[in-house]
Structure 1
Amino acid sequence: MNRRHMLIGGATLAAFGGGAAWFAGRRMDQAADYATAVARWRAPLPDPAATRDLIRYATLAASGHNTQPWTFRVDGDAIRILPDLSRRTPVVDPDDHHLFVSLGCAAENLALASAARGRPGAIAFDAADGGSVVFSAGAGRAAASPLFDAIPARQSTRAEYDGRPVSPADLDRLAAAAAVPGVDLVLLADRARMERVCDLVVAGNGAQMADPGFLRELKAWLRFNPRQAMQAGDGLYSVASGNPTLPAWLGPHAFDWLVTAGSENDKYARQVRSSAGIAVFAGARANPAHWVAVGRACQRFQLQATAMGLRHAFINQPVEVPALRPELAALAGMRGKRPDIVLRFGQGPLLPYSPRRPVDAVIAGPPPSVA
């Protein structure tokens, strides 16, 4: 679920003379269209909510590279979330660990949204159905919550934060919100251990940046301008990381010219050191069912952080590079376990939101029209 981004200066466009001025005008029009699309993707959940509205809220969850690797199948009162293996990222996620974490994130959003509209239910994992996650709705009173309210506002904010600490009481609130059976969460807020995690992030990033396969896969998911992001409906929107808009033809070349292991390492080090703390999640076992549980806990953590006015972003290099996992586990007091997800958190700016695919594109069969 790592979100990479580029260090591309505004001088890049200036190098192309008059074309830059023309593109600047186009960029303003595209930005307005993109803002309209964001408002549509993140519109408040209707009350009552149709099934497709609940699914839209589910798709606002986090996913690795923003691949949105899910397909929803409606079966009576149950909604199944199936893995979409056409959206795998086999280099950074060869065992589909991030993919199943993403399904858990979507399932938690779905459960919170359904409960808020009087349809509380249960989440289960079905290994026999391709590793799907099943949400079975019941009936009850509407149960809105701060986590539900935070769903349309949540984002992975890939920027530097302001370094202010989070109080012990607020750390406890974050941990309590993320409590899911079978998932361990360790919060690191002391600077000494955070610096050691920073070293692991930099080491992992350096290893990945030296891998041509990793770079090819990453570039395939980059979206360099609003129009490209809207057309794809997925991927890593560079503007959402604070980078300038670039023409689609120029973006990949600028990436090759300007993104280096050294510049990325420096950027990640600044981001980690500007954070208030680091969250490390680990499932009881290393299998899809437990990865889904980790996703649920991770999504709840992100929503609670959002409700508290905190930003967060993934720094998953120490779990994506297998050689670094044991040291991270020891540092977090998780010896013998495989760390699954690493998040940094703190107070920072709001950045543009990432794109989402149309709801009808993620539903298997005829789109449902009623709850």
Structure 2
Amino acid sequence: MNRRSFVAGMIGGVALGGIGIWGWRASTGSMSEYTRYAAAQRTDLPQDPPLHDLIRYATLAPNSHNTQPWRCAVGKNSIGLLPDFSRSTPAVDPDNHHLFVSLGCAIETLRIAAEATGRPGDVNVEETGAASYVFSSGMPRPGPMFAAIPRRQSTRTDYDRRPVLAADLETLARAAAVPGTGLVLITERPQLDRIRDLVVAGNDAQMADRAYLAELKHWLRFNPRTAMASGDGLFSASSGNPVLPDALGSRAFDLVFTANAENNKYRRWIDSSAGIAVFVGDREDKTHWIAVGRACQRFALAATSLGLRCSFVNQPVEVARFRPELAEIVGASGKRPDLVMRFGYGPVTPFSLRRPVRAVLL
């Protein structure tokens, strides 16, 4: 029995059991309400926005499992971004690498939004991984990356295999040029196939890890109601999975979330992509992980402005024994690859949610 028929059977059984349409809607919430809620979080910034609005934009940055592992401190002419270790994911990210990459994505988003709306400044990063943006007043400097912030998403579905123009690949590479980091763009099928095989091997290893599965399940949101209540986590509909009541979703996860099904999905995803971007920091430390996050977000925003979609396939960097082979493929032997991101042309999927700004303020 495949995943779709199993889930359909469960849904039918529950309906016949007497929950009915009203009970189903009451336990899951509505997608239309979810869509309005997500859109409100992504409304355009006003002219001369208050600092809380800039923070709202910063929190739209990509982050591992959508845990949003940051806290914000507001000063007179500064916004600090600090790691929130209570939102770490030790099974998939035991050294908090992804956490600090996520901080880098957020601080770069903040910088772009602030400069676009008349607060030019500088990003400062301490060895501890605390980051801050210190600004002054100036002329607004909006641009394509700023416009892309509320439209960027991690699009976890099939793409259409169309190649990306060489000029657009050059635009992506220029956008992601951040000191202390390197970017390798892979578009040739033999190399893509090698990375695909590494992704599948890494996924096999993670699917055999009970701690990884428990952690992933903890951050899954099976329906709009739960997603809106938490404001975080991975919403099932964003990756094409059905909306289910929590209890049913949890049970379905345990029964149909298999290594074989996930491996086939990742093969499809990579085979349908135009290319893969691999980000490599010059060194393994918090400041360089934050720099990688900044480069990654600049890449993602530039891709969004070009009509491209992106999503992470990080298994070869999350499972440590596969890092050397990935580094060899991309010509970075001896270094630790930091992120693997596929890109291509694809559909818009439901946006993930964010917690309200008051929840991240110190």
TM-score range, shorter chain: over 0.9
Q: Which piece of structure 1 moves more, 274-283 or 161-170?
A: 161-170
Where in structure 2 are the equivalents of 1:62-73 lying within 5 Å? 62-73=62-73
Q: Which piece of structure 1 moves more, 325-334 or 10-19?
A: 10-19
Write the deviation string for residues 79-109 of structure 1: whole angstroms up to 9, x where unpaired: 1100000000001000000000000000011
Matched with 1:276 is 274
Contact (CA 8 Å) 1:43, 1:152: kept in 2 or not? yes
Write the deviation string for residues 34-69 of structure 1: whole angstroms up to 9, x where unpaired: 122112110111112000000000000000000000
TM-score (norm 1): 0.94
Matched with 2:153 is 155
Of the three residues 245, 265, 268, the one matched with 1:267 is 265
Is residue 2:332 matched to residue 1:334? yes
Of the three residues 273, 293, 296, the one matched with 1:295 is 293
Structure 1 residue 22 displacement after superposition:
3.5
Matched with 1:177 is 175
Contact (CA 8 Å) 1:281, 1:340: kept in 2 or not? yes
Contact (CA 8 Å) 2:27, 2:245: kept in 1 or not? no
Structure 1 residue 10 displacement after superposition:
3.7
Q: Give the secondary-structure state (helix, strand or coil) at the position aligned to 1:122.
A: strand
Where in structure 2 are the equivalents of 1:331-370 lying within 5 Å? 331-364=329-362
Write the deviation string for residues 96-142 of structure 1: whole angstroms up to 9, x where unpaired: 00000000000011001100111111111123xx5211111122211
Q: Give the secondary-structure state (helix, strand or coil) at the position aligned to 2:247.
A: coil
Contact (CA 8 Å) 2:28, 2:224: kept in 1 or not? no
Q: Which runs of 5+ in 2 are unaligned?
A: none
Cα distance between partner residues in 2 of 1:329 and 1:137: 37
Structure 1 residue 9 displacement after superposition:
4.1
Contact (CA 8 Å) 2:29, 2:224: kept in 1 or not? no
Of the three residues 308, 311, 321, the one matched with 2:309 is 311
Contact (CA 8 Å) 1:157, 1:241: kept in 2 or not? yes
Matched with 2:246 is 248
Instruction: Give the 3 Å change call, closer, same or farther, for CA 166–245 of structure 1 in structure 2.
Output: same
Matched with 1:42 is 42
Counterpart code for 2:358: D
Instruction: Give the 3 Å change call, closer, same or farther, for CA 25–67 of structure 1 in structure 2.
Output: closer
Cα distance between partner residues in 1 of 2:100 and 2:46: 28
Cα distance between partner residues in 1 of 2:160 and 2:23: 33
Q: Give the secondary-structure state (helix, strand or coil) at the position aligned to 1:250.
A: helix
Matched with 1:91 is 91
Cα distance between partner residues in 2 of 1:32 and 1:16: 23
Structure 1 residue 20 displacement after superposition:
5.2
Q: Give the secondary-structure state (helix, strand or coil) at the position aligned to 2:72.
A: strand
What is the CA RMSD across the aligned residues, in angstroms? 1.4
Cα distance between partner residues in 2 of 1:280 and 1:172: 15
Q: Percent identity?
A: 54
Where in structure 2 are the equivalents of 1:59-208 lying within 5 Å? 59-127=59-127, 130-208=128-206
Contact (CA 8 Å) 2:153, 2:351: kept in 1 or not? yes
Counterpart code for 2:349: L
Cα distance between partner residues in 2 of 1:355 and 1:184: 30
Counterpart code for 1:57: Y
Cα distance between partner residues in 2 of 1:211 and 1:143: 47
Contact (CA 8 Å) 2:28, 2:245: kept in 1 or not? no
Cα distance between partner residues in 2 of 1:20 and 1:135: 52
Number of residue pairs matched by the alignment = 357
TM-score (norm 2): 0.96
Cα distance between partner residues in 2 of 1:24 and 1:335: 53
Q: Give the secondary-structure state (helix, strand or coil) at the position aligned to 2:124.
A: strand
Counterpart code for 1:261: A
Matched with 1:367 is none
Cα distance between partner residues in 2 of 1:90 and 1:29: 31
Counterpart code for 1:297: A
Cα distance between partner residues in 1 of 2:306 and 2:252: 37
Cα distance between partner residues in 1 of 2:204 and 2:218: 19
Counterpart code for 1:50: P
Counterpart code for 1:100: F
Structure 1 residue 76 displacement after superposition:
1.7
